[in-house]
């Protein structure tokens, strides 16, 4: 990205002033090297978002930002319904409520020190947890069960026996997104999901067994149940085919709605509708149902992981640290121009990171700040962060969600071969299992930005602070 049009406010904050049809500035958070490495289209897309009706504050780009569909991935924008604000399916993404949950196991690294032990665990997890494009699970939902799942999220899953009530205390929204409208979810979206509950999916989705290799904030880490040498499990997955179908259908409807409401779009991919319109309300209801689908899906995946660990390590106890989503639009209270307003915050490839004391953080963590889970990719680190004080005015209390891609999947497959990559990672102590060698190549660690630099930028910018670093031992890849 060219820096000559950006005003550096400090070492990690860059401002692109409004021009043309822009209503608010664009703020990028990243170290200089990360900004220079970003595609110019990231800035173009963020500037386009800033032209939409009702956008307030600024359009923010997180340190892992890269260009996506309509909105940049790593993009955050808030819209005020009292100022004709809009909702955009492109500002949420196709994998609605894709997110990460991390669980402690009670095991220490010594339990997995032997390569043979890791091999057996990798094989057991891969055999038990469906992964890959079009993967099907053991669960087939009836129409009534589908409605209950879309309305109940992880609460439904726990009630069905796939978890424990204590899990719900450590999930955003208490495990269930209010305002879901299963009746707004199309028959096609329902059919795509009927056999996909309890499946990882493909792309960058994974289940990883990791070890805590560094603790930065001992007090917060201890409260999260983390200490150096602990074995943990992280699950990255979303709303699968249902969320993709909802996004696809909504974009077509919003293109027509935008024209009907006289909204000028700089890019068709930014199709949107007024929040207070029939199209907007229908999308929000369906999107919230997809959030519940993702929460239920990760809950079932947790249950499957617990079954494997119970067989392989009877002493293990998988307890949830937290579950966060990073493709959502949520109505939240934020102070704007000295007044508290109800805003619709789009986070596409960005994580909600409420600061200490925020009432929507579970009581057990409220004084610490919301846990923020940053996913890695097979051979790289993942991180646990916590929301920083004052980040509401910096980013509507948002942070990054991962390393962010540095090259396209097609470019990655030209540079790496999946089988060779699996062998190399195993030599480094990371045991990868995947139904697709091509999928492994697409997600090669080298295809992503330096996650350490991304996290350093997020902390330096005051978005979230480092708590612990996690290193992979086993990766089940979609």
Q: What is the value of pTM for the model shown? A: 0.96
CATH of 7-477, one of 3.90.950.20, 3.30.460.80, 3.40.640.10, 3.90.1860.10: 3.90.1860.10
Degrees (nearest 5) of the Cα angle 435, 441, 446?
140
Degrees (nearest 5) of the Cα angle 177, 359, 394?
95
Residue 204: per-residue pLDDT: 87
Under 8 Å CB-to-CB from 164, ≥6 apart: which residues?
158
Residue 181: per-residue pLDDT: 98
Q: Over the stretch 393-408, which tens digit does the pLDDT of each residue have? A: 999 999 999 999 898 9
Which residues sit opposite 371 in a β-bridge? 386
Full DSSP string of 212-243: EEEES-HHHHHHHT--TTEEEEEEEE--HHHH
Domain boundaries, given as residue ranges, for the chain:
7-477
d(CA 17, CA 291): 34
Under 8 Å CB-to-CB from 438, ≥6 apart: which residues?
413, 418
Nearest Cα to Cα of residue 308 among 469, 125, 147: 125
Residue 203: per-residue pLDDT: 83
Give the residues of the chain that fall short of pLDDT 50.
Answer: none
| CA atoms within 13 A of residue 51's CA, in its CB half-sphere | 19
Residue 201: per-residue pLDDT: 85
Residues 131/476, Cβ–Cβ less than 8 Å: yes
Q: Over the stretch 410-446, which tens digit does the pLDDT of each residue have? A: 999 999 999 999 999 999 999 999 998 999 999 998 9
Residues 110/291, Cβ–Cβ less than 8 Å: no
Q: Token pair for residue 180?
A: 């879901």
Q: Report, as residue numbers or ranges, the catalytic residues.
A: 401
Nearest Cα to Cα of residue 82 among 344, 398, 270, 394: 344
Residue 166: per-residue pLDDT: 96
């Amino acid at each position: 990205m060219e820096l000559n049009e950006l005003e550096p406010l400090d070492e990690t904050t860059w401002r692109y002033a409004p021009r043309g049809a822009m209503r608010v500035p664009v703020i990028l958070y990243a170290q200089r090297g990360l900004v220079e490495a970003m595609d110019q289209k990231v800035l173009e897309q963020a500037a386009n978002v800033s032209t939409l009706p009702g956008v307030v504050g600024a359009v923010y780009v997180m340190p892992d930002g890269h260009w996506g569909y309509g909105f940049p991935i790593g993009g955050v924008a808030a819209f005020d319904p009292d100022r004709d604000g809009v909702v955009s399916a492109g500002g949420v993404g196709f994998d609605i409520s894709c997110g990460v949950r991390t669980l402690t196991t009670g095991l220490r690294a010594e339990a997995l020190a032997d390569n043979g032990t890791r091999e057996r665990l990798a094989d057991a997890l891969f055999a038990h947890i469906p992964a890959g494009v079009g993967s099907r699970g053991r669960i087939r939902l009836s129409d009534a069960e589908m409605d209950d799942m879309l309305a109940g999220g992880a609460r439904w899953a726990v009630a069905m026996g796939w978890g424990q009530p204590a899990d719900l205390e450590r999930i955003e929204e208490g495990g269930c997104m209010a305002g879901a409208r299963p009746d707004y979810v199309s028959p096609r979206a329902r059919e795509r999901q009927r056999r996909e509950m309890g499946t990882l999916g493909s792309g960058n989705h994974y289940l990883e067994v990791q070890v805590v290799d560094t603790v930065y904030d001992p007090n917060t880490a201890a409260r999260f149940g983390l200490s150096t040498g602990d074995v943990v499990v992280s699950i990255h997955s979303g709303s699968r085919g249902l969320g993709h179908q909802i996004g696809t259908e909504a974009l077509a409807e919003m293109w027509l709605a935008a024209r009907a409401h006289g909204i000028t779009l700089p890019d068709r991919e930014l199709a949107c509708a007024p929040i207070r319109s029939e199209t907007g309300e229908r999308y929000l209801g369906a999107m919230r149902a997809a959030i519940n689908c993702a929460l239920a899906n990760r809950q079932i995946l947790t249950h499957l992981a617990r079954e494997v660990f119970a067989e392989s390590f009877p002493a293990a106890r998988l307890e949830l640290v937290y579950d966060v989503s990073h493709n959502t639009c949520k109505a939240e209270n934020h102070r704007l121009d000295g007044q508290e307003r109800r805003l619709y915050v789009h986070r596409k490839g960005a994580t909600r990171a409420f600061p200490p004391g925020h009432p929507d953080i579970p009581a057990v963590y409220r004084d610490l700040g919301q846990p923020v889970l940053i996913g890695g990719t097979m051979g790289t680190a993942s991180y646990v962060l916590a929301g920083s004080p004052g980040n509401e005015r910096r980013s509507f209390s948002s942070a990054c969600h991962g390393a962010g891609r540095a090259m396209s999947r097609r470019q990655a497959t030209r540079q790496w071969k999946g089988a060779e990559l699996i062998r190399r990672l195993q030599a480094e102590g990371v045991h990868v299992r995947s139904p697709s060698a091509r999928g492994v190549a697409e997600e090669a660690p080298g295809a992503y930005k330096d996650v350490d630099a991304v996290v350093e930028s997020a902390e330096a910018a005051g978005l979230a602070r480092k708590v612990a670093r996690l290193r992979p031992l086993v990766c089940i890849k979609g």
